[in-house]
């Protein structure tokens, strides 16, 4: 069996081919793969039953042996002489030379059968990733010169209006122009329940309109869409190998030439110490040793296990950017979380507008005209509350991470931010604001306080469950870091059960806390966030997790794991999948090494036949493969 899962070709996710190809073509190709095995099996059975001459066994050998010869020749061309192909060829040709024709054919036949099972297992592991490819839109219906036209998604520019028919796939990210729409998001998020969106809310590429045609204004190019970003992440994931996988690969490179040497010693050394030495008998033992020593079970099942883990996670809307991050997630000691958008919904609503100088609507319009340039959830809430009142001109806009936004309206300087922003610019404000628990945006014009807006946020439905599950999975410490006020941060932490909470933090403050938490290199620290101000901490953590549904592009790019559903309970799901994957991988390693060592010893002592070696080798490999794909079915 092949000792590696092939890397994906450029533009082809994990080597699974074009998702748009016809099913008939794939079925026909699979049947062609089975024919040599069936032919060899029938000829071998006929030879054993009717005692055919030796050349009939050669005919039975060729259908399954020639492909392996080609592989061995190709590897030799790359100066790789010691691999499972040369090992199998040596064992089978040696069996023919000493007259063990049925055994020689059987070794190669069952090796090929094992390859077919491996191929089926890999295809199953790739199924969830192929499902992502299947949701790629073929075309986009765009409004141009008063008519709806069919174009390629790559040809649509931001700002153009798209029509998504009932049952159709949204080709690009955009804003919903219709009053409402119900969408199937399962391929992106793993959620089976449809999501209802209202006018002005974000629709992601790959979402399927369920009940009616809707209009969407494109906000990104196809290359920058959420779907394209997901596909790129999955394509790149298989190139980042887990530590266990890399160790097994290095082990196989040393192990295979070592067993060649040991087999040679088993065949020749006894001639120096055994009185009734018979070369053919000891060569037979050496060949048995070679057959059972094939490292297929190890070198296939370990990467297949990690590949299955990545596929199982993607089905749950969790995208691991590499198997190495699956490995790290098994040893999580501390989980650090941002508050807004991670444990709280980040869907803010304006609760109150308090003006000291202007009218209520005028103050709200002024704040919204400035905040519309920010992507922060609080800013979006203010813009949504203002509605059509936002039509004011603001220039020289500057967003200050962790503080707020400022800009110019004509000659006037407008500021909208938190208390830290006011303190930095020495702006006095109403002292009663300090006693408020809600999030507060303070407005200043020309460095003078003119009012404030109270914003309310809600804790996510599964936040309490998320923290409880993390603790049950062995997470020793949970911490919340937030740029929001300490009082608000501590209240949310108490509600959801987080151990420690720190508020009033700028991005550099979060970095400082993360450096302190990482002082002990033996403890794996995970950070979960979604905003652009979380990017430095995501990069610093051992494993950075981004909430991808509403998170910023910077956070998603830097993160090691992306949770498409924005559900904090999926953090625990990611840990659980990582632990299941690692457990299955370790089971495969112990099974393969244990059984092989026992049968190798029996073969060297003359207590095992070639048939037993064949069934032991193929059997262990198949058990390891079936065990590897269990992660896809694990709950």
* Identified catalytic residue from 338, 457, 560, 566: 338
The alpha carbon dihedral of 24, 30, 33, 35 has a sign of negative
- How many Cβ atoms sit within 10 Å of the Cβ of residue 484? 23
- Indicate if 530 belongs to the active site: no
CA dihedral 567, 572, 575, 579 (to 10 degrees): -140
Alpha-carbon gap, residue 214 to 209, rounded angstroms = 8
Closest to 105 in 3D by CA, of 117, 93, 87: 93
Residue 294 and residue 112 in contact, taking contact as beta carbons nearer than 8 Å: no
Residue 317 and residue 190 in contact, taking contact as beta carbons nearer than 8 Å: yes
Alpha-carbon gap, residue 237 to 7, rounded angstroms = 10
Cα dist from 86 to 81, 93, 595, whole Å: 7, 10, 22
Unique residue bearing structure tokens 């508020």: 503
Q: Which strand ranges, in their side-by-side order, compose the sheet holding 412-417?
A: 349-355, 448-456, 439-445, 412-417, 404-409, 395-400
Residue 324 CA from chain centroid, whole number? 11
Helix (H) or strand (E) holding 545: strand 543-547
The alpha carbon dihedral of 345, 346, 347, 348 has a sign of positive
Strands annotated E in 246-403: 318-320, 332-337, 349-355, 395-400
* Pairing, β 180-184 against β 208-209: antiparallel
Token pair for 238: 């298989």
Provide DSSP, 36-81.
HHHHHHHHHHHHHHHT--HHHHHHHHHHHHHHHHHHHHHHHHTT--
Rounded CA Rg of the chain: 31
Angle formed at CA 535 by CA 530 and CA 540, multiple of 5 degrees: 120
Residue 116 and residue 1 in contact, taking contact as beta carbons nearer than 8 Å: no
Provide DSSP, 121-184.
HHHHHTHHHHHHHHT--S-EEEEETTEEEEE-GGGPPTT-EEEE-TTPBP-S-EEE-SSEEEEE
What is the phi/psi pair of residue 498, to 5°? -75, 140
Q: Report the SS3 class of residue 560.
A: coil
Cα dist from 589 to 212, 299, 602, whole Å: 52, 9, 20
Helix (H) or strand (E) holding 547: strand 543-547
Alpha-carbon gap, residue 24 to 20, rounded angstroms = 12
What is the phi/psi pair of residue 131, to 5°? -60, -35
Alpha-carbon gap, residue 204 to 591, rounded angstroms = 44
The alpha carbon dihedral of 499, 503, 507, 513 has a sign of negative
What is the phi/psi pair of residue 481, to 5°? -120, 130
Provide DSSP, 561-595.
EEETT--THHHHHHHHHHHHHHHHHHHHHHHHHHH
* Residues taking part in catalysis: 338
């Amino acid at each position: 069996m092949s000792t590696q899962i092939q890397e994906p070709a450029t533009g082809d996710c994990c080597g699974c081919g074009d998702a748009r190809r016809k099913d008939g073509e794939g079925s026909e190709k699979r049947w062609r793969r089975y024919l040599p095995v069936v032919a060899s099996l029938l000829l071998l059975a006929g030879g054993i039953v009717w005692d055919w001459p030796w050349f009939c066994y050669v005919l039975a050998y060729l259908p399954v042996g020639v492909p392996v010869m080609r592989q061995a020749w190709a590897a030799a061309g790359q100066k790789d002489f010691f691999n499972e192909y040369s090992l199998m060829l040596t064992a089978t040709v040696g069996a023919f030379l000493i007259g063990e024709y049925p055994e020689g054919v059987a070794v190669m036949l069952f090796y090929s059968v094992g390859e077919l099972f491996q191929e089926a297992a890999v295809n199953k592991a790739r199924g969830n990733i192929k499902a992502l490819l299947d949701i790629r839109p073929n075309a986009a219906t765009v409004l141009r010169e008063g008519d709806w036209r069919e174009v390629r998604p790559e040809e649509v520019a931001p700002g153009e209006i798209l029509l998504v028919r009932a049952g159709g796939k949204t080709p690009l990210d955009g804003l919903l122009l219709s009053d409402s729409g119900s969408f199937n998001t399962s391929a992106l998020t793993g959620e089976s329940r449809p999501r209802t969106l209202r006018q002005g809310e974000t629709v992601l590429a790959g979402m399927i309109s369920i009940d009616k045609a809707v209009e969407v204004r494109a906000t990104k190019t196809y290359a920058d869409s959420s779907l394209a970003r997901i596909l790129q992440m999955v394509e790149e994931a298989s190139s980042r190998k887990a530590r266990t996988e890399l160790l097994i690969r290095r082990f196989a490179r040393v192990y295979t030439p070592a067993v060649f040497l040991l087999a040679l010693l088993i065949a020749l050394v006894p001639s120096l110490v055994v009185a009734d030495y018979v070369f053919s008998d000891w060569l037979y033992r050496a060949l048995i040793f070679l057959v059972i020593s094939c490292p297929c079970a190890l070198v296939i099942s370990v990467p297949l296990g990690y590949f299955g883990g990545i596929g199982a996670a993607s089905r749950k809307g969790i995208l691991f950017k590499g198997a190495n991050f699956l490995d790290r997630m098994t040893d999580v000691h501390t989980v650090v979380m941002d508050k807004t958008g991670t444990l709280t919904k980040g869907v803010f609503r304006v609760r109150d507008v308090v003006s000291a100088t202007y009218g209520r609507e005028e103050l709200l319009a002024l704040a919204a005209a400035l905040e519309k340039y920010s992507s922060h959830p609080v800013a979006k809430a203010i813009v949504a509350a203002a509605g059509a009142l936002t039509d004011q001109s603001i220039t020289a806009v500057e967003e200050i991470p962790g503080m707020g936004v400022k800009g110019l309206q004509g000659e006037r300087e407008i500021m909208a931010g938190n208390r830290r922003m006011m303190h930095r610019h020495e702006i006095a404000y109403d002292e009663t604001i300090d006693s408020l628990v809600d999030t507060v945006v303070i407005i200043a014009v020309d460095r003078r306080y003119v009012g404030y807006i109270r914003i309310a946020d809600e804790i996510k439905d599964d936040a309490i469950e998320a923290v409880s599950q993390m603790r049950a999975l062995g997470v020793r410490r949970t911490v919340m870091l937030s740029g929001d006020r300490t009082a608000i941060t501590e209240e949310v932490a108490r509600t959801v059960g987080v151990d420690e909470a720190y508020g009033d933090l700028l991005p550099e403050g979060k970095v400082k806390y993360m450096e302190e938490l990482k002082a002990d290199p033996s403890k794996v620290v995970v950070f979960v966030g979604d905003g652009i101000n979380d990017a430095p901490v995501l990069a610093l953590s051992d494993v950075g997790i981004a909430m991808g549904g509403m998170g910023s592009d910077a956070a998603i790019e830097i993160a090691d794991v992306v949770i498409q559903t924005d559900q904090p309970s999926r953090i625990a799901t990611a840990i659980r999948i990582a632990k299941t994957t690692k457990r299955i991988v370790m089971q495969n390693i112990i099974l393969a090494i244990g059984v092989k060592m026992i049968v190798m010893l029996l073969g060297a002592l003359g207590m095992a036949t070639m048939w037993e070696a064949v069934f032991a080798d193929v059997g262990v490999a198949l058990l390891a493969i079936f065990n590897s794909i269990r992660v896809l079915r694990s709950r």
